[in-house]
Structure 1
Amino acid sequence: MGKYLDIIKNAYSGYWNYLKNEIITINHWDNFFYGLIVISILVWILEIAFPWRKDQSIFRKDFWLDTFYMFFNFFLLNLIVLIALTDTAAIFFDDILGLVGLSIANFQLFDVDELPLWLGLLIFFIVSDFTQWNTHRLLHRIPFLWNFHKVHHSVKEMGFAAHLRYHWMEPIVYKSLLYIPIAIIGGFDAKHVAIVHFFSITIGHLNHANLGWDYGVLKYIFNNPKMHIWHHARELPKKGSYGVNFGLTLSIWDYLFKTDYVPYNGKDIELGFHGDENFPKDFVGQEIYPIKLKK
């Protein structure tokens, strides 16, 4: 038990020092704090310059709530729970395997560091995105998980910051299901992972932005605003009663597995879910909603 307490303690202190350094030091390109700010401002400028819904305010409904969510989920949530939980779970999992004489290294198919950088990054990106696509489907399919995912679907007007409005339980689910697939392909240098991370953030922001883009023929590969808005539609088709268009960065999984749905221009469709009129409108209420629901 003492070992796990030390891991948690070191995780907290390590991430706190990292976060302080990210805010104070801006002279490295893979700075996630300022990277998020730059991406957000650029996509917001695109929203302002090329608005799809021209009558939607620049400071749309829940703009500031979503902005708070963006920084809370991207940085403070890691400090509060995710980093310590992730580090502890990884060691605990390896200790369990050790009881039968194994380690996570026994399941590693290859090490991406031994591949050309572009190929390693591509494999890392595809494996991560496919795993997250499947995880996203589970968030819609399993009632227990859907009650957490409702936070994200409570958005009534789309904008870039809605990308990071989600309940703290979601990244726990995503990270847990990503652990083994990523371990199988081996580790990556943090600076290299940042390339994939920044790209995914940008696509995610664009997907939720007030933009009427679909990227032409590339819409069959990359998720886009015209496709993703149907994922947030209040009225779902019979063929996708649990949801449609589950892609995060790539749309190709939806086309391959027949979960794609873009029946017409969805610029003005109603967003949300049935019963969202009774869903909490504030941060604290949304965070404790699944707990209150259980009671």
Structure 2
Amino acid sequence: MNKYIEIIKNAYTGYWNYLKHELISINHWDNYFYGLLCISLIVWLLEICFPWRKNQSIFRNDFWLDTFYMFFNFFLLNLIVLIALSNTAAQFLNDILSFIGISISSFQLFDVDDLPKVLGLFIFFVVGDFIQWNTHRLLHRIPWLWNFHKVHHSVKEMGFAAHLRYHWMEPVIYKSLLYIPMAIIGGFDAQDVAIVHFFNIAIGHLNHANLGWNYGPLKYIFNNPKMHIWHHAKNLPEHSKYGINYGLTLSLWDYLFNTAHIPYNGRDIELGFEGDENFPKDFIHQELYPLSKK
């Protein structure tokens, strides 16, 4: 037990020191704080210059709530729970495997450090995105997970910051399901993670932005605003009551597994979910909402 307490304490101390360093240091390209700020400002300027829904306000409905979610989930959430929980869960899993005489390294298929840099990053990106696509499907299909995911689907007007409006349990679920497959591949360093992470953040912001882009032929590979708005549609097709267009960064999986659905230009469709008129409108009650449901 003392070992786990020490892991939690070191996680909090280490992340707090890291966060302070990020805020005062702008001399390295993989600074997560200023990276998020830069990507957000660029996509917001694109929204202002090339709005798809021209009657939508620059400071749209829930703009400030989503902006708070964006920084809370990206930084404070890590400080409060995610880093400590992830490190503790990883150690707990390793301890269980060790108890039965198995090491997580024994499952490792290969080390990406042995591959060319570009190929290693490509494998890391594709495998991670596929796992997260499946996790996203689970959030829609399992009722108690859906109660957490409703926070994200409570968005009524799409904008870049809606990308990071989600309940704090979501990254816990994503990270937990991502841990073992990433450990099996192994060998990723911090800069590898930063490159993929910034790319995913940029695509995610664009997917939720007030932009009418679909990237031409690349729409069959990358998720895009015209596709993702249908994922947030309040009225789903009869054959897909659990959802459509689950892609996070890649749309490829939806086309491969027949979950893609773009029946027409969805610029003005109603967003949300059935019963969202009774869903809490403020941060605290949205965070508490899943705890009040069976």
Q: So what's the TM-score if we normalise by structure 2?
A: 0.99
Partner residue, 1:265: 265
> Which ranges of structure 1 fall in alignment gaps of 5 or more residues?
none
> Which ranges of structure 2 fall in alignment gaps of 5 or more residues?
none
Q: What whole-Å deviation, never above 9, does each CA across 1:221-276 have from its counterpart, x for those lacking one? A: 00000000000000000121100000000000000000000000000000000000
The alpha carbon displacement at 1:187 in A equals 2.6
Out of 93-102 and 51-60, give the one that drifted further: 93-102
2:156 pairs with 1:161: no
Partner residue, 1:177: 177
The separation in 1 between residues aligned to 2:49 and 2:113, in whole angstroms, is 41
The separation in 1 between residues aligned to 2:129 and 2:26, in whole angstroms, is 29
Partner residue, 1:10: 10
2:179 pairs with 1:207: no
The separation in 1 between residues aligned to 2:114 and 2:67, in whole angstroms, is 39
The separation in 1 between residues aligned to 2:20 and 2:115, in whole angstroms, is 33
2:291 pairs with 1:287: no
Partner residue, 1:240: 240
Partner residue, 1:40: 40
2:124 pairs with 1:124: yes
The alpha carbon displacement at 1:192 in A equals 1.8
Counterpart amino acid of residue 19 in structure 1: L
Partner residue, 1:112: 112
The separation in 1 between residues aligned to 2:192 and 2:127, in whole angstroms, is 15
The alpha carbon displacement at 1:2 in A equals 0.5
Query: What does 1:39-188 align with in structure 2 at a 5 Å threshold?
Result: 39-188=39-188
The separation in 2 between residues aligned to 1:109 and 1:238, in whole angstroms, is 41
The alpha carbon displacement at 1:293 in A equals 2.2
The separation in 1 between residues aligned to 2:192 and 2:219, in whole angstroms, is 26
Q: What whole-Å deviation, never above 9, does each CA across 1:177-212 have from its counterpart, x for those lacking one? A: 000110010031101211110000000000000000
Partner residue, 1:222: 222
Counterpart amino acid of residue 6 in structure 2: D
Percent identity of paired positions between Structure 1 and Structure 2: 78
Say which SS state the counterpart of residue 100 (structure 2) adopts.
coil
Runs of 4 or more, structure 1, over 2 Å off, are: none
Q: So what's the TM-score if we normalise by structure 1?
A: 0.99
Counterpart amino acid of residue 158 in structure 1: M
